[in-house]
Amino acid sequence: MSKAFDIVIVGAGPSAFSMALALKNSNLSIAILEKSVFPRDKICGDAIPYEAYQTLKRIDEKYYQQLYSIVDTSKIIYSRLVTPKGQDLHIKWNSKAFNCKRVTFDNQLFEWVKSDTDTCIYENTIFKNAVYSNESWTIETSRETFEAKVLVGAGGVNCPVARRIANLKLDRAHTSGAVRAYFKNINGIDNNTNEIYFLKDYPDSYFWIFPVGNNTYNVGFGLLSKSISNKKINVRQLFQEIIDTDNIIKKRFNNAERLEKTTGFSIPLGSRSVAMSGAGYILLGDAAHLVEPFGGHGIGTGMWSGKVAADFLRIAFEKQQFTAKAMYQYDEKIQKSIGKRLSKQKTLQRIVVAFPFLIEIAARPYMKKIVRWLT
């Protein structure tokens, strides 16, 4: 016998948890289906941006206040941008941000949802198929069958709802391929500073070193998937070559200790518009391609989309309107908020890729005040 809910969310990550927390007093029955078991890691840069704070603050002030109590975090005050010629630009952030391993951050959100809401979380449950008939979804999983009025895709870049229901395909021109590994004992890094390096031969990429606490650093490298394909790049191999041979970066790793194998992941950039809804369903976060095109950040926009979705679905259930036309209002709300930010980042990304010398100009002394003001 199937289990019936108002909303079934496929994928348990920050966007799904944000939505569940925002709906905690809605009287809607909600289930989250997750293929893994918590605590589980998520390959990522581990940078938790200001938007995550703001979203949680809008949901409930206590989550905003409790974020700093999460263990194994590093508060970020500065970003250090390093150009191919070795010029650097320090940017001081007035807004709150911190780095935290995703295994820790996601598990905290998971615990909040379990303790503060009536959401049913089904771990170790793999989505298999969903059929929409008579304004209701029948959802088959590896364990049991679910029924729902609304289906939400929040399963990240490979979300099965996005791929099979919304028929979204990855576009290499709007996707980044990235790799990551944790290190200890990196030389000369300030624990309050994220370092980002731009590389001469790869204008559509950047290399990062982000402190995550306890003398541990998230180190990674990413570039457009189109470049990876066209140039037949082995990203893991190139990542190690940069560490070993780049005149600026290699100095950081003289005494470094690698803590794990290099792992790869894809980033669906918000540099193109995609359909985020249809009859009876919506998409959140990475599944909706809401990652910032220039910075590659997806946690803040993902959680933001979860709050937007929660507000939208409260009204949708009051009106009992789930047609494709009615659900498209969610797309419009995303475009009016997150879409504006993504559009600006898309323009910046294209300018930097087309004119990489502008990075050097931006780091010159007479430009630094202007750049800091803009950021």
Question: What are the two backbone dihedrals, phi and then psi, of residue 118, each rounded to the nearest 5 degrees?
Answer: -95, 15
Asked if omega into 84 is within 30° of 0 (cis), the reply is no
Instruction: Characterise 99 by phi-psi region: left (phi > 0), alpha (psi -120 to 50), beta (else).
Output: beta
Q: Identify the three-state secondary structure at position 93.
A: coil
How many other C-beta atoms can be found within 10 angstroms of the C-beta atom of residue 64? 17
Q: Closest Cα partner for 194 from 171, 215, 217?
A: 217
Q: Report yes or no: 257 and 184 within 8 Å, Cβ to Cβ.
A: yes
Could you read off the pLDDT of 52-71 as tens digits, one per residue? 989 999 999 999 888 877 75
pLDDT in tens, 135-176: 999 999 999 999 999 999 999 999 999 999 999 998 999 999
330 pLDDT band, cuts 50/70/90, is: very high
- Max distance between CA atoms of the chain, in angstroms, equals 69
Question: What's the pLDDT band for 73 if we cut at 50, 70, 90?
Answer: low
Q: Cα separation of 213 and 349, whole Å? A: 30
Nearest to 48 by CA among 258, 336, 304, 349: 304
Fold of the domain spanning 3-52+103-170+272-351: FAD/NAD(P)-binding domain (3.50.50)
Rounded CA-CA distance 330/334 in Å is 6
Contact criterion met (CB below 8 Å) for 296 and 267: yes
Phi-psi region of 285 (alpha: psi -120 to 50; beta: other; left: phi over 0): left
Task: Tell me the domain boundaries of the chain.
Answer: 3-52+103-170+272-351
Q: Is 200 helix (H, G, I), strand (E, B) or coil?
A: coil
pLDDT at position 230 is 95
Structure token digits, residue 95: 């807004």
- pTM, 2 dp: 0.92
Tell me the two tokens of residue 255. Answer: 């005494």
Helices 14-22 + 299-319 axis angle, to 10: 40
pLDDT given at position 1: 73
**pLDDT of res. 339:** 82
Other residues' Cβ atoms within 10 Å of the Cβ of residue 266 = 18
pLDDT at 366: 47
Strands (E) in the chain, as ranges, are 3-10, 30-33, 47-48, 73-75, 78-82, 88-92, 98-100, 120-122, 127-133, 136-141, 145-153, 175-184, 193-199, 202-213, 216-224, 257-258, 263-268, 277-278, 281-283
The answer to whether the CB of 204 falls within 8 A of the CB of 233 is: no
Task: Write out pLDDT tens, residues 259-307.
Answer: 999 999 999 999 898 999 999 999 999 999 999 988 788 999 999 999 9
Residue 84 pLDDT > 80, yes or no?
Answer: yes
Q: Smallest Cα–Cα separation from 182: which of 296, 91, 273, 258?
A: 258
Contact 180, 296 (CB under 8 A): no
Say yes or no to pLDDT of 336 above 90: yes
Pairwise CA distance, residues 43 & 179, whole Å: 9
